[in-house]
Each structure stands twice: as C-alpha cells, then as structure tokens.
Amino acid sequence: MNGAPVRGRRMGVDVGAVRVGVALSDPDGILATPLTTLQRDLRKGFDVKLLAGLVQEHGAVAVYVGLPRSLDGGENASTAMARDWAAALVRRLRAKGRPVPVRLVDERLTTVDAHRALLEAGVSRREHMDKVDQVAAATILQSALDRTRATGTEPGTPAAGSASGTGPGGVPHNGEGPAAPAPGPHGHRPPGAAAAPSPDPGAPLTTTDPDGEHS
C-alpha cells in the first residue's frame, strides 16, 4: 500500500502492556471513532487473535499500530513491543487468509492527548482507564487519516512481514502473540524480562475470537 490509498474502513491500535485500544474509521477514511478495548494476553496472544477478528468483522483495509518513540524520535522498549505486536498481527491475518497491510505510525504523546480529551469531555478520572486506550487509538488513527488525505499516500512504515512490505520486528515467544516485555517507565515491559501475570478476567474484552478459542 505504498501508492494511492484504497477506499475502506481503517483501524487504529494503541498497544500497551495491559490493554490494547482499538479505533475504527468510516469507509471514506474521514473520522476515527473509539471502538473497543482488548485485554493483553502475554502468554497466548489472544488479543492479537481478537484484533484479527475485528479486522475481518469490519472489513478493514488497513491497520495502523502506534509506534511510541521517545520525544527525540529515538526508539525504546515500548517501541520494540509495538513492533513485535504488529508483526504478530501480520502473521495472524496472513494465517486467516486476510493479508491486510499493517503499518507503524508515530504516536508520541497520544496517551497524554487522550487523557486531556477525556477531561475536557467531562469524563471522570475514575473512568479514564476504561476509555483512555480507545481514545489514544482514535488519536493515532485520526492522525493517520489526516496525513493520508494531505499526502495521498499511506502514512508510516510497513510492519514486519506486512503485505505492504517488510520491516524490523521481533520473534514471538509462542509463534502467535508477541513476547512479554518487562515494565518500563511508561508501564511497558522491556525485552527479556519475565512475563506478567495473566490479565484480570474482569477486565475489558468486548469481542470474541472468530475461531471460538478462549484464553
């Protein structure tokens, strides 16, 4: 997808160590809307399977995964985690026969922007954790949509193994989901650390895997 973008819904993803925020655009790629929050599954990569199911359900033609760089543009443990997660999504989509392009786009300060937007909308801080990941994903997606309209080309760079090209990426710990990083300064886990405990079963998980699998 390095040429002119095709028409269709696009999906934005904000990957964290605990949750994955998801946003969806309209078919014309004008407006990004928060969609759902998935709970990370660091052992089985179930969140990757669920996202692939959402891509199929909504007929998304592209997925933009936020790449959390440092303020100076450098890469860090969170950047590596996002790359690994995006690469795992590429493999899952390909295995399901839907090689939808997955692209990595700059997401500096999106979580800060999301918190600010929620406060301005009158959402209490107590409710922020349920919404902030979705709003961050919508911020990532809206930025990508705006850049697409302004330039006439797809923003960002292809994730490793994507239909739109190849790029750097890590090897997942179980052949499906990304390896579990250790907590960093922003709640992410650096590479090589022990996996985090399984997510709280009461945490958000608002869709089902198309294969009927359960973690």
Q: Where are the domains of the chain?
A: 10-158
In the chain, the amino acid numbered 13 is: V
Return phi, psi of residue 208, to 5°. -120, 150
Q: pLDDT confidence of 203, banded at 50, 70, 90?
A: very low
40 three-state secondary structure: coil
pLDDT single digits (tens) 158-178: 998 875 443 333 333 333 444
- Mean pLDDT across 75-86: 86
Q: Which of 136, 139, 115 is nearest to 127 (CA)?
A: 115
pLDDT surpasses 50 at 209: no
Adjacency order of strands within the sheet including 102-106: 32-39, 19-25, 10-15, 62-67, 102-106, 157-158
Which single residue is written with the structure tokens 């605990």? 18
pLDDT single digits (tens) 179-195: 444 334 334 444 444 43
pLDDT single digits (tens) 103-152: 999 876 455 454 455 455 555 555 556 678 888 899 999 999 998 999 99
Say which CATH class 10-158 falls into.
Answer: alpha beta
| Whole-prediction pTM | 0.69
The neighbouring-strand residues paired with 157 are: 104
